[in-house]
């Protein structure tokens, strides 16, 4: 329970189904005075939620979010506990800083879902004898032979199936996604009818641990005082400006480049070794194919090449493509038409209709195709 409307209504829907629900808040943005640890820790597995200072960050793990979640649990008459996952969450922060420092674009939400929400949270569920882990994600699970199928949420504007591609297939049968077949408006209406004060709470927009909203500043603060600046160059090598650090850029970015070139230019490539940010026109972003690593498959892999719809970012549309599985958990994707803004470090997720087949982490597109 994050303190938002989706997880709050999810808890209500589970109660309505007659399930025995335990509300859990994952505290990982700040150190809590009192919190419980995952199984195996010396501290008690269940301790009261710390009611500390309130802040105004619109995220999903602040003290004010915790207070909202506790109030909802009280309203629903369910037990509520906080987990201190700060140490585990430090891995996500480290991954985030390392990826940006390498000129890649991380996706901490995918990693959080894989490592924590549908990773460490299962350890906690096992420690208290819970059969399922449920969240307020807008995605659906439907029965299939072998393992349930993960599908897009009914509300396509809010669909979050993309960020769940990394969940282990063995855990699908123990997942519950109760809001996935509702529209967002229906969820807010239910919260209003229940008298929940989070009914009109804005959706989380920030990376929860970047409280300032400035991810470049966040990364630089953790990399020391060394000069991280470099050149901004065009695809033909012409120097057109300077930048303060490659971590402030992502492939496909147009705003905030700090250069005026007479027509819109976009980040086409980032070279962390030379600290060069390469910019070009939109045509320079065209990419017909990509490779991905560390793939995770949610269906029984019985094919090497297949047709699919491949999605390269959370908020992008899936595009028709042919995918080919490679050795060592790698993947090659060829798009029917060029895609724009293929960013190394983001995930490519393969769909068959609305079903998630699996996906992996984008490596650098072929040099000849990326400008």
Residues forming the active site: 112, 208
Query: Strand 266-271 and strand 276-280: pairing?
Result: antiparallel
Q: Phi and psi (nearest 5°) for 209?
A: -90, -5
Q: Over the range 12-38, which residues count as b (16 or more CB within 10 Å of their CB) and which as e?
A: bbbeeeeeebbbbbbbbbbebeebbbb
Give the angle 249-224-241 at the CA atoms, nearest 5°.
35
Counting other chains too, the contacts that 193-200 makes at CB distance below 8 Å and 24 or more residues apart are: 194/9, 194/12, 194/75, 194/76, 195/75, 196/5, 196/8, 196/9, 196/72, 196/75, 197/68, 197/71, 198/3, 198/4, 198/5, 198/8, 198/68, 198/72, 199/5, 200/5
Please list, in sequence order, all residues whose beta carbon lies within 8 angstroms of the beta carbon of residue 236, skipping any fewer than 6 positions away. none
Give the angle 6-211-209 at the CA atoms, nearest 5°.
65
Half-sphere exposure of 204 (CA within 13 A, CB side): 22
Q: Using an 8 Å Cβ cutoff, are 198 and 8 in contact?
A: yes
User: What's the DSSP call for residue 346?
Assistant: B
CB burial of residue 67 (10 Å; 0-12, 13-18, 19+): middle
Q: Using an 8 Å Cβ cutoff, are 84 and 42 in contact?
A: no
Please list, in sequence order, all residues whose beta carbon lies within 8 angstroms of the beta carbon of residue 220, skipping any fewer than 6 positions away. 228, 244, 245, 247
The three state secondary structure string of 325-339 is: EECCCEEEEEEEEEE
């Amino acid at each position: 329970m994050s303190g938002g409307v989706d997880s709050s209504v999810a808890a209500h829907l589970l109660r309505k189904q007659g399930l025995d629900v335990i509300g859990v808040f994952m505290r990982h943005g700040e150190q809590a005075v009192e919190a419980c640890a995952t199984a195996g820790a010396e501290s008690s597995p269940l301790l009261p939620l710390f009611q500390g200072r309130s802040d105004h960050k619109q995220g999903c793990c602040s003290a004010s979010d915790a207070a909202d979640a506790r109030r909802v649990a009280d309203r629903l008459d369910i037990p509520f506990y906080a987990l201190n996952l700060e140490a585990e969450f430090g891995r996500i922060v480290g991954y985030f800083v390392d990826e940006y420092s390498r000129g890649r674009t991380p996706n901490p939400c995918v990693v959080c879902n894989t490592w924590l929400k549908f990773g460490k949270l299962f350890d906690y569920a096992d420690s208290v004898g819970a059969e399922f882990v449920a969240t307020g994600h807008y995605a659906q699970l439907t029965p299939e032979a072998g393992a349930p199928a993960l599908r897009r949420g009914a509300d396509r504007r809010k669909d979050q199936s993309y960020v769940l591609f990394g969940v282990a297939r063995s855990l699908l049968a123990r997942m519950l996604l109760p809001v996935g077949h509702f529209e967002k408006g229906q969820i807010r209406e239910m919260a209003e009818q229940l008298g929940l004060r989070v009914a009109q709470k804005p959706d989380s927009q920030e990376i929860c641990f970047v409280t300032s909203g400035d991810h470049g500043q966040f990364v630089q603060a953790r990399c020391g005082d060394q000069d991280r600046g470099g050149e901004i160059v065009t695809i033909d090598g012409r120097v057109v400006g300077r930048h303060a650090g490659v971590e402030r850029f992502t492939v496909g970015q147009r705003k905030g480049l700090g250069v005026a070139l007479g027509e819109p230019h976009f980040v086409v490539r980032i070279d962390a070794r030379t600290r060069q940010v390469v910019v070009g026109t939109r045509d320079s972003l065209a990419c017909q194919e990509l490779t991905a690593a560390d793939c995770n498959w949610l269906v029984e892999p019985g094919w090497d090449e297949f047709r699919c719809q491949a999605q390269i970012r959370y908020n992008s549309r899936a595009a028709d493509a042919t995918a080919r599985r490679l050795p060592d958990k790698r993947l090659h994707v060829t798009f029917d038409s060029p895609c724009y803004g293929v960013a190394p470090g983001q995930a490519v997720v393969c769909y068959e209709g609305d079903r998630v087949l699996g996906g992996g982490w984008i490596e650098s597109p072929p040099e000849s195709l990326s400008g």
